[in-house]
Each structure stands twice: as structure tokens, then as C-alpha cells.
Structure 1
């Protein structure tokens, strides 16, 4: 079976700290797979907010997530403190990839890597749109 490989790009665009919540824990007692996706969304929302944007308003354009991949490296438990690093890759006219590296804040041990493909979207016209120039300046 082919394994998913998520390489870490050079361009770090954002970093934030999050904690594992009790609701992030699954029946096995560790960080659940669906919680990883929630953590990436929180990181992405904080990135947008740090620039005065929202996920539905960057110069009047929003985003949609077109695909997701997660690679697990180690466990995390409640109430671990995590470090989230956000990178960008594969920038095109209308889309790019966001790469998330999640580590334990205390010792730097990697927990997971995730990738979300992001497409800029014009919600009024209900179609993909070009990445706004102001956004490109931040991620390039």
C-alpha cells in the first residue's frame, strides 16, 4: 500500500500554540483523528485572523478546502500543549496547499503532519477565483 508523504516546505507562514482538549480524545485515550482536522482548522483561522482576514473574506474572496491528508507520527494526550506550524506549498493561480506540522510544545516530538488544499472562492458567483494579491504577498 502506498503511504502518504507530506514534506515540509521552506516557507513558514504562521505558528501558534494549542492544547489538547478532553473532547479531542478518542476511545483509545489519545488524540483522535478527527481532532487533528479540527486543530488544523483552528490554526488556519488564527492565521487568517492575524492578518485581519476571515476564511470567507480576503479582499471579498473566501476559501474552500478541496482535499485533506493526515500522516500520524506519535500520540498526544489530554491536556498536552501543542505547537502548530503552518507552511504553504504548490501555489497556483487559484489554489495552494497548507501544510501543518503538529509537535509537542515541551519536547518538540512530532505528532502529525497534515495538508489541506485550499482554493480561493467567490461566494457571490459560486466559483473558484484568483488568489488575491494581498494574500499572495503574505504566503510567497
Structure 2
């Protein structure tokens, strides 16, 4: 059976620390699979805040996730501190790929990597739209190692 490979971000543009909370655990007492996407969402909000934006306003519209791929590497447990590294890839007219990797700080082991495909979305009109020009410029200024160019 094919197993997708999700590499860590090729070029890191933002990092933050998160702690595994009790609500992030599953019945096996380790980080739950669904909690990885929840953490990726938190990390995305922190990245946007660091550039003065929010998920509901990137310059006249918001963002919506259209797809996600997660690869799990190692377990994490309650209280573990994780470093979340972020990179942006595959920028297009209406969206981009938000890459993140979770690394356990006490031993440097990768816990998980996620690719979240994000699209510009006009929530009032209920439809996708192009990324606002100012946001596209912001994305274009980020470190990139994937060979793509901002549109």
C-alpha cells in the first residue's frame, strides 16, 4: 500500500513552540492523530499573527483549508514541548501550501509533518477568490526552497 511521504518544510519562515496538552491525547496516552491538524491550525494562526494578519482577514478575505496530508513519525506525550517549523510552498493565484513539521525539543526527533492546502475564501459571498495582492507579496518575500514562484 502506498504511504504518502510528507517532508519537513524546505525553507522555514516561522517557528513556534507548543506543548502537548491533555486534550491532545488519545486512548494510547500519546498525541492523537487529529490533534496534529489542530496543532497545525494553531501554528498557522500564530504565523499569520506574526505578520499582522488573521485566518479570517488576509487583506479582504479569509483562508479555508482544501486538503491536508499528515505523516506521523514518533509519539509525543502529555507535557512534551514541540517546535513547529513552518514553510510556504506551491503559491498560486488563489492559494498556497502551508507546510509544518513538529519536532520534539528534548531529543530533536520528528513527531509529524503536515501539508495543508489553503485557499483564499470570501466567507460573506461563500466562494473562493484570488489571494489579495498584498498577501501574495508577503508570501513572495518568504524564504522558499521549492523552486516555485509566487503568482
Give TM-score, length-normalised by structure 2. Answer: 0.87
Deviation at 1:92, TM superposition (A): 0.8
Change (3 A) 1:62 1:30: same
CA RMSD in angstroms comes to 1.2
Residue in 1 aligned with 2:144?
A: none
Is 1:104 the equivalent of 2:114? Answer: no
Show the 5 A alignment for 1:1-140.
1-140=1-140
Tell me which moved more, 6-15 or 30-39.
6-15
Give TM-score, length-normalised by structure 1. Answer: 0.94
- Alpha-carbon contact 1:13-1:139 (below 8 Å) kept: no
CA distance in 2 between counterparts of 1:26 and 1:3 reads 22
CA distance in 2 between counterparts of 1:134 and 1:15 reads 22
CA distance in 2 between counterparts of 1:98 and 1:12 reads 11
CA distance in 2 between counterparts of 1:53 and 1:9 reads 21
Runs of at least 5 residues in structure 1 that lack an aligned partner in the other structure: none
- Alpha-carbon contact 1:13-1:138 (below 8 Å) kept: no
CA distance in 2 between counterparts of 1:139 and 1:12 reads 13
Deviation at 1:9, TM superposition (A): 4.2
